[in-house]
Structure 1
Amino acid sequence: MGTDVGGGPAPADRERWVPESPKDTGYGRSPYERDRARVLHSAAFRRLAAKTQVHTAGTDDFLRTRLTHSLEVAQIAREMGARLGCDPDVVDTAGLAHDLGHPPFGHNGESALDGLAADCGGFEGNAQTLRVLTRLEAKVLGPDGRSAGLNLTRASLDAVAKYPWPRRAGERKFGVYPDDRAVFDWLRRGVPADRRRCLEAQVMDWADDVAYSVHDVEDGIHGGYLTLRPLLCDADERAALCADVAAVYSAESAADLGAVLVDLLADPVLGPVVDYDGSHRAQVALKATTSTLTGRFVTEAVRATRDRHGPGPHRRYAADLVVPRRIRAQCALLKGIALRYVMRRPGAEARYARQREVLAELVRVLADRGADALDPVFAPLWRAAPDDPARLRAVVDQVASLTDPAAVAWHARLVG
């Protein structure tokens, strides 16, 4: 997991699960450029266009989907990684691929499928992403005829691993199902410490947090779902927001978050968007706020990392990303604003309950009908399954692959 003499990537980083012969396409592309192209051209990536980010996909032309979010994460990660010395194509690939395993209906769908898949190890979007990349996508077959998915390099797969460990009691996040442990152990071979993430994965994860926090607030303000004015005028509302953030997004106390929130609300960068009216001038101001916050969160992390580890270049396990406490708290507060005023807005819970019902009924009917009701990609997994948990996993793979509209359409066709 080190580097060649001269600072290049080690040969082990470029290895693929299934060895491939060298390709001479005339472009002179690196293995990591090919990884990026494989993700970009995958079916799972295209499906992200109709999967929910925060707002239901297709409800507004302005609002982000999982696809636009992934493109933004990749762009932020690429620039931040390049400034630290990471291979830009590795962090770009990680940003593009990090949400490929997310099911219909966003995190609500993820939570629903986790309960429905209890008998086969549960469901987690990041573990499903590894499964998509190494098994479910159609690109490369191994010598035994089994799919190797996109067969990305070890470095790129490791960069996608936000939670590089199996499920453990009491932990909500994990990155591999028992059924995929062999390829997981291969990609983690040579890692210097259990559960440690490579720098590229840390960069992708912070880029995801930055994009999620800043852009979801931008979408909420533009869509009329939230306004910052109550936070400016009401100390009790600020305290309630900080309690939400401390419970969900941050290890900081609500009191400490309150002090950061007061400073953030007083920052001139937020002033122009307090009374947003949707005009062209207001949209310009909102975009300027978005750009300034994104730049701040990235620049402060790059600066702090260089201060601790030196100017670099840094890649793989040579350094860890450092995000200043104040910056991390600001990011968490923005995520909390989207949570409190968008995801938990009046009427949202009824919609979420219906989404969970749709997924539960789909899993039940597909489990009853078996292979004949599954797509040709997933039917062989059902037929080859040795037991009921493995058959359930094939059903969950099928449902997780669906877009939001497809899940509704499948439910209408199969359940009525």
Structure 2
Amino acid sequence: MTSERDAQRRVTEVPKDTGHGRGPYQRDRARVLHSAGFRRLATKTQVHTAGTDDFLRTRLTHSLEVAQIAREMGSRLGCDPDVVDVAGLAHDLGHPPFGHNGEAALDVVAQPCGGFEGNAQTLRVLTRLEAKVLAPDGTSAGLNLTRASLDATCKYPWSREPGRRKFGVYADDAEVFAWLRRDAPDRARCLEAQVMDWADDVAYSVHDVEDGVHGGYVDLRPLLADADERAALCADVAAVYSPESAADLVEVLTDLLDDPALTPLTCYDGSHRAQVALKRTTSVLTGRFVAAAVTATQERSGTEPVRRYAADLVVPRWIRAQCALLKGIAWRYVMRRAGAERRYEQQRQLLTELVHVILAEAPATLDPVFAPLWRAAGDDSARLRVVVDQVASLTDPAAVSWHRRLAG
């Protein structure tokens, strides 16, 4: 069970509608669902640029799918279902326009104030930038979620370190990070965060391939016919997504391609029948990846309910490798397709220019939420962070519109 301390909020709130029966984590879930940052995910890129095809996923639909997978998996293990649901819904709130490509651009331009990372930005959105609760001193407490829900969103519970690309907290958010991590084992992730992270990997790998097949970018026939192409894919995956060697991944890929469940990925024509078959494939793969993790975890920790720091999620090596290969398929044939890098470079340039032009004329160029924060900032580093927060909050279309208006 979660404890009274897990349900604490950093800013004490006056209880309301106590007869309604909602628990603290149900309130957390509602706060995320009703937040402005969650709505903005509807026009933020997942893999394909948001708005280019009604079939394709955005950060919003991806977050809903992660939450559903995490809730089901967490419930089977004994986690509080609302806590893992909150983590799934909230995990991408810090992502900027243009997905990971935008994240890379902002990380470069934000180096003077500590860089940019989507997961660290998520913590900042939840605890500082969202408008819901004010602290006694008048500063924003963000959504003021419970300790357990905030901890469950922390994929990377550490600050930036040399040689480590991922991190979960900026230096100026260290105080709230210390509060939510009180008494937690150093650098350890709670079970709910591990469940959310695996649900994210499952949704990302399976659904991005589904979108790639529907968009005409992914066809497994070249992989079936060409050993060199299989080797090249496995080399990509070993370099980017998996600790396995390329040679070991070839064995996993061969097994995966022999699976009859993947047949719809070789003969997709967009018809209703083909869409049904494609959806069946995504369901089979999702169910397989979830069930394997649940079974392996229960074999190690027992079938009694577990949560928080009582157990770690166990994902079998073969299953993790299959998931990594699906990620690699989307990366190789969708994200690295012909012409993609030119568009990515344009997006990075747009965001970089937008930060510089806003910074040059701030606070006049900031919206009414961020302008007071810029005025209250104590130095150039803090002011740059405010500008980066502003740009990161924008949707893809809003970033283009702001750039057109401010930079010409």
TM range (shorter): over 0.9
Q: Say yes or no: does 1:84 pair with 2:77.
A: yes
Once residues 141 and 152 of structure 2 are traced to their aligned partners in structure 1, the CA distance between those partners, rounded to angstroms, is: 18
**Which residue is equivalent to 1:153?**
146
Q: Say yes or no: does 1:413 pair with 2:405.
A: yes
TM-superposed CA distance for 1:26, in Å, is: 3.9
SS at match of 1:270: helix
Once residues 141 and 405 of structure 2 are traced to their aligned partners in structure 1, the CA distance between those partners, rounded to angstroms, is: 32
TM-superposed CA distance for 1:9, in Å, is: 1.6
1:173-322 matches, within 5 Å, as 173-191=166-184, 193-322=185-314
Structure 2 residue corresponding to 1:167, chosen from 160, 168, 192: 160
Once residues 178 and 374 of structure 1 are traced to their aligned partners in structure 2, the CA distance between those partners, rounded to angstroms, is: 23
Please tell me the residue identity of whatever aligns with 1:61.
Answer: D
**Which residue is equivalent to 2:66?**
73
RMSD: 0.6
Once residues 104 and 9 of structure 1 are traced to their aligned partners in structure 2, the CA distance between those partners, rounded to angstroms, is: 35
**Which residue is equivalent to 1:56?**
49
SS at match of 2:14: coil
Q: Say yes or no: does 1:28 pair with 2:27.
A: no
Once residues 61 and 48 of structure 1 are traced to their aligned partners in structure 2, the CA distance between those partners, rounded to angstroms, is: 15
**Which residue is equivalent to 1:5?**
none
**Which residue is equivalent to 2:121?**
128
Give a deviation string over 1:3-58, Cα, whole Å, max 9, x none.
xxxxx321110011111122225421000000000000000000000000000000
Please tell me the residue identity of whatever aligns with 1:180.
Answer: D
Once residues 134 and 38 of structure 2 are traced to their aligned partners in structure 1, the CA distance between those partners, rounded to angstroms, is: 20
Aligned length: 408
SS at match of 2:383: helix
**Contact 1:273/1:282 (<8 A) preserved:** no
Gaps of 5+ in 1: 1-7
Q: Say yes or no: does 1:345 pair with 2:352.
A: no
**Contact 1:46/1:67 (<8 A) preserved:** yes
Q: Say yes or no: does 1:383 pair with 2:375.
A: yes
Please tell me the residue identity of whatever aligns with 1:120.
Answer: C
Gaps of 5+ in 2: none
Once residues 110 and 273 of structure 1 are traced to their aligned partners in structure 2, the CA distance between those partners, rounded to angstroms, is: 30
Once residues 86 and 397 of structure 2 are traced to their aligned partners in structure 1, the CA distance between those partners, rounded to angstroms, is: 27
**Which residue is equivalent to 1:360?**
352
Once residues 385 and 265 of structure 2 are traced to their aligned partners in structure 1, the CA distance between those partners, rounded to angstroms, is: 46
Runs ≥4 residues deviating over 4 A: none
Q: TM-score, normalised by structure 1?
A: 0.97
Once residues 2 and 328 of structure 2 are traced to their aligned partners in structure 1, the CA distance between those partners, rounded to angstroms, is: 39
Give a deviation string over 1:114-163, Cα, whole Å, max 9, x none.
00000000000000000000000000000000000000000000000000
Once residues 187 and 27 of structure 2 are traced to their aligned partners in structure 1, the CA distance between those partners, rounded to angstroms, is: 27
- Give aligned-pair identity as a percent: 79
Please tell me the residue identity of whatever aligns with 2:140.
Answer: S
